Structure 1
Amino acid sequence: MLFVLCGFCAHGQILVTGGSDPLDADSVKRDFSNQPYFGLYKDNYFIFGPSVGSRPTRDNTNIKFQVSISQRLTRSTLPWGTYLYLFYTQKCFWNILENSMPMTDLNFNPGIGITKPLFVKNRYIGKVTFLVEHESNGRDSTESRSWNRVALAANVMVTKNLMVHGKIWVPIVDGMHNKDIVDYCGFWQAGFQVLSDNKRFMGGVTIAKRKGWNLNANVTVDFAYRIFKQDNQYLYLQFYNGYGEGLLEYNRFHSQIRVGLLIRPKLFSDY
């Protein structure tokens, strides 16, 4: 019996064929080396919506979009079964209701990392990535924002319907005007993603703990519905509540709901 799984494993689009188990370790290891070098990394989306908890205005109703890609840099497997990747994510906030429709905040997030696929009892269950990343907004003077992170991230499929993910980092803040960014963005994040049996529905929660011992956190809740069974395009709803949604106003509280279009990897995304 032939199985075909088109997924996003270790930051690339991979085809696993043959065998009785589409996540068989030997098949996955073989296809990690054969997969295309270029692929998606995090969720790619284009969404629009207003502020929550205050009257919607032209100032607080905007478009948020994200483009995220990866490039495998090595042809063969590195020691300990790892793979070297270059990552790039760009996030933008676009106030289309204001005069001249300004893009008010543009965040650039390149990185490089080593990914290791995880196997348990000869089954592929996820991956661990050690990466170094930079994030800045390209502004100058008092609107300049910049920081770096040395991070360890993991995605693990607990069952076919549940994936959990986590990321912990050591911040290196080099921006002169955002020295306190860790107070608002913290040192770690964690979350989960739930998929329906037919893979048409997806929902998830991501929590980024802010600095301090109290129960303060930045929370993202999202839901998606796959438009066509064989495509990776979804109708998408995202709710964000907290600080640090964008770099320019990282220290300003935002509660925002937006809807739009999502393009994501087949298996799971990175966070």
Structure 2
Amino acid sequence: MLKYVKTIFLSAALFANYVQAQTSEQDACYLEAIKQAKKETQIAEIVSQCEDESEHEPPGALSERIEAERETFFNPYVITPHKMNYILPVSYTSGFNDKLDIPADVRESARNIEAKFQISFKVPLNQEPIFTDGDALFFGLTMQSWWQLYTTEMSKPFRETNYQPEIFYYLPVNWQLLDTNTSLAFGLEHQSNGRSLPYSRSWNRIYLAVLVEDDHWALTLRPWWRLPESKDKDIDDPNRDDNPDIAQYMGYFELSGAYRIDQNMQGHFLVRQNFNYSRGAVELGFTFPLWGRVTGYLQYFNGYGESLIDYNYAQQRIGLGIALTSLL
């Protein structure tokens, strides 16, 4: 009789806990533990078991990264990565923008094999929640460079460098469609190549990003709206729109995703598309272990907009190097 009374009290205690927060994942753990518990099981054992599982099971691959980043957000000795950071010492392209009025000697000296690298980081702007727990306001900066490392006729110049500062607000939301987790991001972004006319390229856009994740993968849908610029100014006016048709090639959204095979092996993709003009781009990437913390990185690109100077030129590119940080 004492065993049955103990079981009744155990069930009652756990059911009371369930009523208080019936939407939490711990409650499901409590109920499952009741079904499988032996008569001599103590309440403390079940509570401890479910708390341990809650602590060691992050809600998703992207959330796991964000939780790890929060521990060092305000450490002055730590730079928090934003997008991927990588170095591709060998990157081959099918060609460059042939619509540019570039001197013949420069065009002939440029090699199809060059180096490419990307540096990307973000800085949190708030220590306490702004509207709700887990939200954050960030400043981010991403820089991409294409370096003519293998040319012998010129002094190995940087053929193109793109700068992409942005400010964005990250908001986790309680949407759990098909056992996934969802979060949102709202941002204002500028992108330019920092050059003077006639090679200047730039645009500004605001975007909404919807991020959906599971334990091993994450998807991001990011539609944007380009902020209009003046098209009526003189062609030599620096305030004139440098590339009024850029949306025809870059599209109005991008869909990206990443899948974590293990800690050092991941696959990712990015797709941009303008259905009205049947123009867009696809980028595929794969990271793989080499030795220690050094991770290999293979990248393939096909389409428009691989760089701003080539935004209206279709090309294929494949590069091999190392990834300094990963997406997940």
Deviation at 1:154, TM superposition (A): 2.8
Whether the 8 Å CA contact 2:84–2:120 is kept in 1: the answer is yes
Name the residue aligned to 1:182. Answer: 247
More strand by share: 1
Whether the 8 Å CA contact 2:59–2:215 is kept in 1: the answer is no
Name the residue aligned to 2:289. Answer: 226
Distance 2:138 2:283 in 1: 26
Q: Please give the secondary structure, in 2, of the residue aligned with 1:135.
A: strand
Whether the 8 Å CA contact 1:187–1:211 is kept in 2: the answer is no
Alignment of 1:205-244 (within 5 A): 205-210=269-274, 212=276, 214=278, 216-227=279-290, 231=293, 233-244=294-305
Deviation at 1:109, TM superposition (A): 0.6
Q: Please give the secondary structure, in 1, of the residue aligned with 2:248.
A: helix
Whether the 8 Å CA contact 1:146–1:173 is kept in 2: the answer is no
More helix by share: 2
Deviation at 1:62, TM superposition (A): 1.1
Whether the 8 Å CA contact 1:168–1:189 is kept in 2: the answer is yes
Number of matched residues?
241
Whether the 8 Å CA contact 1:33–1:75 is kept in 2: the answer is no
TM-aligned CA distance change 1:182 to 1:61, over 3 Å: same
Whether the 8 Å CA contact 2:95–2:112 is kept in 1: the answer is no
Q: Please give the secondary structure, in 1, of the residue aligned with 2:198.
A: helix
Q: Please give the secondary structure, in 2, of the residue aligned with 1:260.
A: strand
Distance 1:163 1:140 in 2: 38
Whether the 8 Å CA contact 1:155–1:166 is kept in 2: the answer is yes
Deviation at 1:35, TM superposition (A): 4.3
Name the residue aligned to 2:315. Answer: 254
Mapped pair 1:141 → 2:170:
no
Name the residue aligned to 1:92. Answer: 145
Larger radius of gyration: 2
Give the letter for the 2:280 counterpart: A
Whether the 8 Å CA contact 1:107–1:136 is kept in 2: the answer is yes
Aligned partner of 2:53 among 20, 23, 37: 20
Distance 1:49 1:225 in 2: 17
* Higher RCO (CA < 8 A, seq sep 6+): 1
TM-aligned CA distance change 1:120 to 1:64, over 3 Å: same
Deviation at 1:34, TM superposition (A): 4.9
Deviation at 1:162, TM superposition (A): 2.4
Aligned partner of 2:136 among 64, 67, 83: 83
Give the letter for the 2:83 counterpart: K
Aligned partner of 1:42 among 83, 88, 101: 83
TM-aligned CA distance change 1:20 to 1:259, over 3 Å: same
Aligned partner of 1:105 among 156, 160, 164: 160
Whether the 8 Å CA contact 1:33–1:76 is kept in 2: the answer is no
Q: Can you list the C-alpha shifts for 1:123-174, whole angstroms capped at 9, x where unaligned?
A: 98353210101111111111111100101113321x3222211111001254
Whether the 8 Å CA contact 1:210–1:218 is kept in 2: the answer is no
Deviation at 1:184, TM superposition (A): 0.8
Name the residue aligned to 1:65. Answer: 117
What are structure 1's unaligned runs of at least 5 residues?
A: 1-17
Distance 1:161 1:31 in 2: 16
Deviation at 1:227, TM superposition (A): 3.5
Q: Which shifted more, 216-225 or 236-245?
A: 216-225
Deviation at 1:210, TM superposition (A): 2.8
Whether the 8 Å CA contact 1:118–1:124 is kept in 2: the answer is no
Q: Which shifted more, 200-209 or 181-190?
A: 200-209
What are structure 2's unaligned runs of at least 5 residues?
A: 1-50, 97-108, 230-239
TM-score, length-scaled by structure 2: 0.66
Distance 2:159 2:273 in 1: 26
Name the residue aligned to 2:265. Answer: 201
TM-score, length-scaled by structure 1: 0.79
Distance 1:72 1:124 in 2: 25
CA RMSD of the aligned region, Å?
Answer: 2.9
Q: Which shifted more, 84-93 or 57-66?
A: 57-66
Q: Please give the secondary structure, in 2, of the residue aligned with 1:184.
A: helix
Whether the 8 Å CA contact 2:59–2:181 is kept in 1: the answer is no
TM-aligned CA distance change 1:64 to 1:240, over 3 Å: same
Whether the 8 Å CA contact 2:161–2:193 is kept in 1: the answer is yes
Q: Can you list the C-alpha shifts for 1:230-266, whole angstroms capped at 9, x where unaligned?
A: x4x420000010111111121111101000011224x
Whether the 8 Å CA contact 2:94–2:317 is kept in 1: the answer is yes
Distance 1:101 1:32 in 2: 37
Distance 1:77 1:94 in 2: 41
Aligned partner of 2:211 among 155, 160, 163: 155
